[in-house]
Chains A and B, each alone.
Chain A
Amino acid sequence: MRSVVLLSGGIDPVSGRSAPPRGEIAAIGLALSAGGAVGGLHVGLPAAALGQAAGHGLGQIACLRGVGDPVAILAAHLSAAPPDLVLAGSRACGGEDSGMLPYLLAERLGWPLLAGVMAIGAGADGWLPVTIGLPLGARQDARIRLPCILCAHDAAPAPPFVFDRARRVAMHTVAVADAETIAPLEGTERPYRARPRLIGSAAPAGGGRVLDNPDPAEAARVLLDHLRALGMLGA
């Protein structure tokens, strides 16, 4: 099985220093668990965050140098020598951060895509079993036809960082044909302004119901009725 992990570079949201997004580290972990050759792929010049990502288990990273739509550049490069598996994080961190790239790439390559992948199993007959992570700890088993694109769940296990691997990674630049240009983004960009979320829905307005010093049996009954009404006790 040959896997390629898409790397976006990226910055840390708090410090602003270069750091790989959490999901891409999880994607490296998934690629390693699939076994076989694993390489990184990045559109653009070698960046500091790529080395840090490599520290989590990548031996080599190819940087595609070309002008234009990164989706088109990636699609051209991947269809020239298709790997079995392309892995990505849920979204970049430091760019447009929309999480659209894997979807656009899947559409262009005509490959199937699954997002929120927690673990992958052993592939057989051109199919790969995967486990999808859902909210509240729920899981879903799925099978997907190879070759495919998988987006790692942010909470998928992250392989440990080894400084020596980050130092030794082989980064090579590949000059590729220019692709079509993308339309400039609409609107204006400016520093982020935190806006308060709507309130009132999370906490009960003016406090909730209070039972002062009830009989224990009475308290237990009210409590269970309340939990049942919230759907927490299955019935």
Chain B
Amino acid sequence: MTGRPRRDPRAERARCLVPGGARPRLARAGRDGMAIAPDAGPREPVMIRVETPVFWVAAVVEAPNGRLDRWARQTLGAARVLAGADGGVVALLAGRDAGEAVGEAGADRVVWLDTAIGPDAMPGVMLAALAPFAPRHVVLAETPAGGDWARRLAARSGWPIQTGIEMLSARQAIRPVGAVRRERAAVPARVLTLPIDRVAPYGGTRREGRPCPPPDVPAMAARMQVGPVMAAQAAGIPLAEAPFVMAAGQGVVDFESFHTLSRLMGATEGASRVVCDAGLMPRAAQVGASGTVLDARCYLAFGIAGAPQHLQGLGKVEHVVAVNTDLHAAIVARAGLSIIADAQAVMPALIALLRGEG
């Protein structure tokens, strides 16, 4: 005889049964389903509220215009991975108030940080904001600003840091080292930075995202002054850095309209190789494998087929819009919006509309 209690499979199954729904659904979270909380009911908007979690994980997210982009959501997703079932996630929101989106993205608490204080004051303010939570980890996006704050925070606090995490679980973080020829797998450090598209955003039930009072800004001697951000002038931006690129392919013959339109829209001009080869556009405008790889947010393609060599140049572009006469062109498959029409007709219509509006 061992002292072990006898199992009752039927009772265990009954405990795992999720109430509601037409078909029986089992959720085996623990070994015997003890950990399952009863469902609040089908299709009712629910929100998870955490009062005192076992520990906290912090995520610093940037929302310059009050919107969380996918990198910010992934940063919160990473914090949720590290928090697991017992931890809570506090978001330090740098920028404007993003409202309920922060809770939907996985934050239990939100502390707003004023970025106008400048990078030099940032570590002091972050430490003041983090102090009440004593977070086990602080996750930041490896953006220019986020990466800078992470390093300032680690240098000021002396907390160990791991940068550019490419794979993350609660127990292990893997990052490239040695010129991305080697990698190091270790227990996640106190400070972590995350490149884009490495950790999935939080997809679970909405969290509370309860606002907390902002921290006091510690006084310090002014050692630097940072001016306002100046957005680039479309025509002057190098193609590789331009946020909005409008490109012409073989399907464009009316270049006068093309240039007028790019000026009206504030877009930087690009072109396919054939167009550059023909001398219709400068070589510097060539987009693609043997031209420029874009970093744009939006790419508007007129009369471009979307050859593989051309699409390689669209590496990180999030939004592609195509105007093409061929419904089966490869660019149409990559585009979020495709207009199957003659570019020579659409361009003047766009110009007329833009001019008519003001």
- Residues of chain A having any CB pair with chain B under 8 Å: 10-13, 16, 93-100, 103-104, 106-107, 112-116, 132, 134-145, 148, 155, 185-193, 195, 197-199, 201-204, 207-214, 216-217, 219-224, 226-227, 230, 232-234
Contact check, B353 vs A217: say whether CB atoms are below 8 A apart.
yes
CB distance from B168 to the nearest CB of A (A): 11
Q: Do A144 and B223 contact each other (CB < 8 Å), given the known contacts A227-B265, A230-B298?
A: yes
**12 pairs from A and B in contact (CB 8 Å cutoff):** A107-B155, A114-B224, A134-B229, A143-B225, A144-B224, A195-B167, A197-B197, A201-B70, A209-B338, A223-B321, A223-B323, A223-B346
Count chain A CB atoms within 10 A of each CB in B144, B156, B189 and give the residue with the most: B144
Choice from A11, A189, A198, A226 contacting B197 with Cβ under 8 Å: A198
Knowing A137-B238, A138-B232, A185-B186, the reply to whether A114 touches B119 (Cβ < 8 A) is yes
- Bound CA span A187–B349, Å: 61
Quick one: given A186-B187, A214-B339, are A224 and B353 in contact (CB under 8 Å)? yes
State which of B44-52, B79-87, B177-185 sits at the interface with chain A: B177-185
Interface secondary structure of B, over-half rule: mixed
A71 to B195, CA, bound (A): 26
What's the least CB distance linking B146 to chain A, in Å?
A: 11
Which 7 A-B residue pairs are closest in the complex by CB-CB distance?
A187-B186, A137-B232, A112-B223, A208-B336, A137-B237, A220-B349, A136-B243
B100 to chain A minimum Cβ distance, whole angstroms, is 20
Give chain B nearest CB distance to A202 CB in angstroms: 6
| Residues of chain A with a CB closer than 8 A to B74's CB | 198
Residues of B in contact with A (beta carbons under 8 Å apart): 70, 74, 119-120, 143-144, 147-148, 151-152, 154-156, 161-164, 166-167, 176-187, 189, 196-200, 222-232, 237-238, 241-244, 265-267, 295-298, 300, 316-321, 323, 327, 332-342, 345-346, 348-350, 352-354
Given A100-B161, A115-B148, A195-B166, A219:B339 Cβ within 8 A: yes
Q: Which chain B positions have C-beta within 8 A of A203?
A: 334
Question: A210 and B332: CB pair below 8 A?
Answer: yes
A207 close to B332 (CB less than 8 A): yes
- Given A103-B152, A188-B184, A197-B197; A212-B166 close (CB under 8 Å): no
Q: Does B295 lie within 8 Å of A135, measured CB to CB?
A: yes
Q: How far is the CB of B324 from chain A (nearest CB, A)?
A: 10
| A to B contact number (C-beta, < 8 Å) | 241
Selected contact of A142 from candidates B162, B199, B224, CB within 8 Å = B224
Chain A hits for B354, CB < 8 A: 224
Q: How far is the CB of A21 from chain B (nearest CB, A)?
A: 9
Known contacts A103-B154, A137-B241; decide if A16 and B163 are in contact (CB<8 Å): no
Beta-carbon contact of A222 and B224 below 8 Å: no
Q: Decide if B184 touches A187 in the complex (CB within 8 Å).
A: yes
Q: Please name all residues of chain B whose beta carbon is closer than 8 Å to the beta carbon of A140 when the two chains form the complex.
A: 226-230
| Complex CA–CA separation, A145 to B352 (angstroms) | 51
Q: Would B225 and A99 count as touching, CB distance under 8 A?
A: no
Residue with the highest number of chain A CB atoms closer than 10 Å, among B119, B161, B222: B119
Contacts of A12 in B (CB 8 A): 179
| Complex interface: chain B residues within 8 A of A202 (CB) | 197, 316-318
- If A135-B144, A213-B341 touch, whether A192 touches B231 (CB-CB below 8 Å) is no
Please measure, in the bound complex, the distance between the C-alpha atom of A26 and the C-alpha atom of B267, giving whole angstroms: 28
Within 8 Å CB of B333, what residues of A?
Answer: 207
Q: Which of A11, A136, A148 contacts B179 (CB 8 A)?
A: A11
Given contacts A135-B143, A145-B222, A208-B335, 13 further A-B contacts (CB under 8 A): A95-B177, A98-B161, A107-B156, A132-B226, A135-B241, A198-B197, A199-B197, A211-B339, A214-B341, A219-B346, A220-B346, A230-B319, A232-B265
Which chain B positions have C-beta within 8 A of A213? 340-341
Cα distance, A214 to B297, chains bound together (Å): 26
A198 touches B184 (CB 8 A): no
Q: Out of B120, B227, B232, which one reaches A136, CB within 8 Å?
A: B232
Report the Cα distance A114→B226, complex, angstroms: 10
